């Protein structure tokens, strides 16, 4: 009976994970990783939070010494919505087995069709052929995702159904592929124009992307940035992994755009020297997930690895602990998840869920009470080792919180490990007696 119930849970999860749109979303969002990680480094240099250091450097290089660094930020992190729009449509088409480049190009065109083609400054008249760059980054990212998915799907269907302009075989493939995109391009541009007209009428002069931001993105950012959102992210990563589904990949595919938008808003507050919760700073950002909720891997299994190394009676777990220790330093714990195993193991379900949930509460509370500043600066790869990542994204306070989480992991996993180790040890003794 338990097996049947498990399959009922796994089936819809796997259906969702393998949807074309979800795969395209996950793959497409990976394309902006270099922009967010490296771009944030330049932002930190351009917004050094120590006034004395800023003044000393300004005396040497001039008052505008930060401008080149902010220019890099402006061309990387600040355009992540624009790039994700291209990358998602590209990934959708590529995964469907059709020529992907036209899909990305058409998606970018649709994105610009759905933006205003003029910019109205706070004071003054509209400037023609100017676009507010704010919609290229975090504020426009949900609209960009929707455009990328829809354009990728429409383009792919036209190509797969051969509703295209066919060129003679003598025409070079590079040219022929572009002619194939003509009919889907016409349909996509026409639909984009119609959506632009409708959105302008509904919003009283606004755009589709602005409407999506107000109606969908702001509420979702508020949800993911809440305590409930933090706990939900921690819970579902481990919950899905326990069933053998790559929980981090699934959850990242859903929340990354929102967490990056939260981070982008925090960066804007940092630039204005207003990075406080009172000014609307977000607590839950991508650093919250990457640097605290998956320490040593999903489920924060560092404590389990330590228990295997120092307290194993069974040969199986002594060997596994040695093998799993090094990957755990870089937040990789597949050897533990599948080798222990944690997947479908009823003994390990509770600690595997509980530790990251408690970590989420601890990190959220640390920022809420002012012990840590809201995250805004360095965005690190999720594989950055503990303590180092904590210090870089949250100072000594961040490193301290990570230490507390790792200690918490060890304390909670230890008694559950002893139960599992006892079973494995008895099985080994039984096998030796039978062979002896």
Q: Is the dihedral of CA 72, 73, 77, 80 positive or negative?
A: negative
Rounded Cα distance between 31 and 35, Å, is 8
What's 277's DSSP letter?
G
**DSSP letter string over 135-204?**
GGTGGGHHHHHHHHHHHHHHHHHHHHTT-SPPPPTTS-HHHHHHHHTHHHHHHHHHHHHHHHHHHHHHHT
- Per-position pLDDT tens, the chain of length 436: 344 455 666 667 667 767 888 888 888 888 887 887 787 778 767 766 566 777 788 788 887 888 888 888 888 878 888 999 999 999 999 999 999 999 999 999 999 999 887 666 666 566 666 677 788 888 888 899 999 999 999 999 999 998 988 888 777 877 887 888 899 999 999 999 999 999 999 988 888 988 988 888 888 888 888 899 999 999 989 988 887 777 887 788 778 888 888 888 888 888 778 888 988 899 999 899 999 999 988 999 999 999 999 999 999 899 999 988 988 888 888 889 888 889 888 889 999 999 999 999 999 999 999 999 998 867 787 888 899 999 988 889 999 999 999 999 999 999 999 999 998 899 888 887 776 5
Closest CA to 391 of 403, 399, 401: 399
For residues 263 and 375, is the Cβ–Cβ distance under 8 A? yes
Closest CA to 377 of 269, 280, 277: 269
pTM of the model: 0.73
């Amino acid at each position: 009976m338990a097996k049947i119930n498990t399959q009922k849970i796994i089936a819809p999860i796997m259906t969702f994970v393998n949807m074309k749109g979800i795969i395209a979303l996950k793959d497409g969002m990976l394309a902006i990783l270099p922009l967010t990680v490296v771009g944030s480094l330049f932002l930190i240099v351009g917004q050094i939070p120590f006034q004395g250091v800023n003044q000393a450097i300004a005396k040497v290089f001039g008052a505008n010494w930060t401008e080149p660094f902010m220019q890099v930020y402006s061309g990387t992190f600040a355009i992540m919505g624009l790039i994700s729009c291209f990358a998602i449509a590209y990934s959708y088409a590529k995964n469907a087995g059709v020529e992907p480049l036209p899909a990305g190009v058409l998606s970018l065109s649709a994105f610009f069709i759905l933006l205003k083609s003029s910019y109205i400054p706070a004071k003054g008249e509209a400037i023609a052929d100017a676009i507010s760059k704010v919609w290229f980054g975090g504020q426009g990212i949900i609209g960009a995702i929707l455009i990328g998915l829809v354009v990728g799907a429409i383009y792919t269907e036209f190509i797969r159904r051969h509703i295209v302009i066919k060129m003679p075989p003598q025409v070079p493939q590079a040219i022929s592929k572009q002619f194939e995109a003509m009919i889907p391009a016409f349909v996509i541009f026409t639909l984009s124009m119609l959506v632009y007209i409708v959105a302008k009428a509904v919003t009283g002069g606004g755009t589709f992307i602005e409407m999506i931001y107000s109606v969908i993105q702001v509420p979702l950012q508020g949800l993911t940035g809440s305590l409930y959102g933090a706990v939900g992210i921690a819970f579902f990563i481990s919950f899905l992994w326990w069933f053998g589904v790559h929980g981090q990949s699934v959850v990242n595919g859903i929340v990354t755009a929102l967490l990056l938008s939260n981070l982008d808003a925090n960066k804007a507050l940092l630039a204005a020297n207003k990075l406080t919760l009172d000014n609307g700073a977000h607590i839950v950002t991508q650093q919250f997930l990457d640097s605290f909720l998956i320490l040593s891997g999903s489920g924060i299994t560092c404590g389990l690895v330590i228990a295997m190394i120092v307290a194993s009676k069974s040969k199986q777990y002594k060997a596994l602990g040695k093998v799993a220790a090094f990957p755990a330093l870089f937040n990789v714990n597949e050897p533990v998840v599948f080798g222990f195993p944690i997947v479908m193991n009823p003994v390990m379900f509770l600690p595997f869920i509980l530790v990251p949930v408690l970590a989420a509460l601890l990190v959220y509370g640390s920022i809420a009470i002012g012990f840590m500043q809201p995250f805004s600066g360095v965005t690190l790869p999720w594989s950055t080792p503990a303590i180092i990542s904590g210090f870089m994204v949250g100072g000594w306070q961040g490193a301290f919180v990570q230490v507390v989480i790792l200690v918490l992991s060890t304390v909670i996993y230890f008694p559950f490990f002893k139960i599992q180790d006892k079973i494995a040890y008895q099985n080994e003794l039984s096998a030796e007696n039978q062979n002896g």
